[in-house]
Copies of this chain bind each other. A is one copy, B any other.
Amino acid sequence: LIDRTSVVNRLRGVLDPEIGISIVDLNMVRDVYIEGSHVKVTIALTVAHCPLAKTLQTDVEKALKKSDEIKTVTVETTAMSKTELNELRTSLQNRATQPRPEQGNGPGPGINRLGKRELRNIIAVASGKGGVGKSFVTSMLAVQLRRLGYEVGILDADLTGPSIAKVFGLKDRPSKSPTGRITPVLTKTGIKVMSINLVLDDPEMPVIWRGPIVNSVIRQLYWDVDWGSLHYLLVDLPPGTSDAPLTVLQSLPLDGVIVVSSPQELASLIVTKAVNMAKKMNAELLGLVENMSYLTCPHCGETINVFGEPQGEKLAKQLGVPFLGSVPVDPIIARLSDHGQIEDYSTPVFQTVADELRLRASQHVQQLMQGLPIAWSTQQSES
């Protein structure tokens, strides 16, 4: 039979989607009501109408339904009182004073790493070679995190082949904000995008960059842009292990790197190089996504291993890197990308990958606590 303790233990695994700490530890579980195989829980939110409330509800439901005994779940929400919030704030600020262990190497010679600002998680998406769908993975991760209610931005640092603006159908030029900074362009669903393509005069002219120029352009795309407060800034890196991705990796205050591969063994040899490059940087290797793993024939429904046998999972194990998921090739992607409608695309794989990302990002919780949750700073004064 279901008892309160087992329910609370299951809820221990649910993290506040913004703070990244267990909702049990945050004292957010208010009421647990059990009747046969039905469970009703009440969760106290830190902000009454937080856009992440739905995500939290879904997470609670998923966690409880993992139990064989629990058949139906109802999640109700309430808001914390001002006193409770103040207690939580103090407790979070105490946690934040613990220093974060330093990893990897510092920035390279002549490169100053830029400051973190109000960006909670800066995550770079890398690949050992081009054409494995790195920009597609970046876009879909942003779309999925946005669907969950997060504030998300994309910095398109793939200067030689920028495609982020195109897949989101963005044509407006970024404007200057009153502070003199550049305001990023918003997608349909509210993702903030900044790309060299949006400011170039002729998007068809080649961008023949020399090393120092890459450095200075990235600086501008990151620093001179008014990103505001974001839960996630995803950085679409130039492919490969050459100067350009290296400069970006060294100059931005990254929290994590995701590596994208394709099933061809050739690409995998190369992705090993990319993983080794990322390991040397001052950022956590969050995991590997295998793209274009297989194709389901739209005519007969059979599976076609277009680029050879999928092997991302095996490769990730060999490299000692978490495996985040296999993404199939889908002819619809090309059409949506060409028409700037990538936000209409949905595949279960990215839900898994985004969840994995949220979980891993929560391990940076000490750093997150340098500022309070974004939802608080914008809405808490009203409550």
| Residue positions of A touching B, CB distance < 8 A | 128-132, 159-161, 163, 166-167, 203-211, 238-244, 246, 262-267, 269-270, 272-274, 276-277, 295, 297-300, 302, 304-308, 329, 331, 334-335, 337-338
Contact = CB atoms under 8 A, between A and B. Distances in A.
B211 A338 contact: no
> Which residue, A159, A243, A264, A277, has most C-beta atoms of chain B within 10 A?
A243
Contact of A238 (B242, B335, B338): B242
Given A161-B270, A204-B276, A269-B166, A304 B297 contact: yes
B243 A243 contact: yes
Contacts of A270: 161, 163
B207 A241 contact: yes
A264 B130 CA distance: 14
Contacts of A163: 266, 269-270
B306 A161 contact: no
A201 to B, nearest CB: 13
Contacts of A337: 264-266
> Which residue, A206, A238, A244, has most C-beta atoms of chain B within 10 A?
A206
Contacts of A243: 208-211, 242-244
Nearest 4 interchain pairs by C-beta: A131-B131, A130-B130, A308-B334, A206-B241
A117 to B, nearest CB: 28
Contacts of A209: 242-243
Contacts of A160: 129, 240-242, 273
A303 to B, nearest CB: 9
A264 B338 contact: yes
Nearest to A308: B334
Nearest to A246: B208
A159 B242 contact: yes
Contacts of A295: 295, 304, 306
Contact of A131 (B130, B274, B334, B335): B130
A306 B277 contact: no
Contacts of A299: 297, 300, 302, 304
Nearest to A240: B160
A349 B53 CA distance: 56
B304 A273 contact: no
Contacts of A161: 128-129, 240, 270, 273
6 contacts: A208-B242, A242-B242, A242-B244, A295-B304, A305-B331, A307-B334
A167 B329 CA distance: 23
A200 to B, nearest CB: 11
Contacts of A210: 211, 243
B203 A269 contact: yes
A338 B308 contact: yes
A345 to B, nearest CB: 14
A277 B206 contact: yes
A218 to B, nearest CB: 13
B206 A266 contact: no
Contacts of A277: 206, 208
A202 to B, nearest CB: 9
A32 to B, nearest CB: 50
Given A204-B272, A295-B295, A307-B331, 20 more contacts: A129-B130, A129-B131, A130-B130, A160-B273, A206-B274, A207-B241, A207-B273, A208-B242, A208-B246, A208-B277, A209-B243, A210-B243, A238-B240, A238-B242, A242-B242, A243-B243, A297-B300, A297-B302, A299-B304, A307-B334
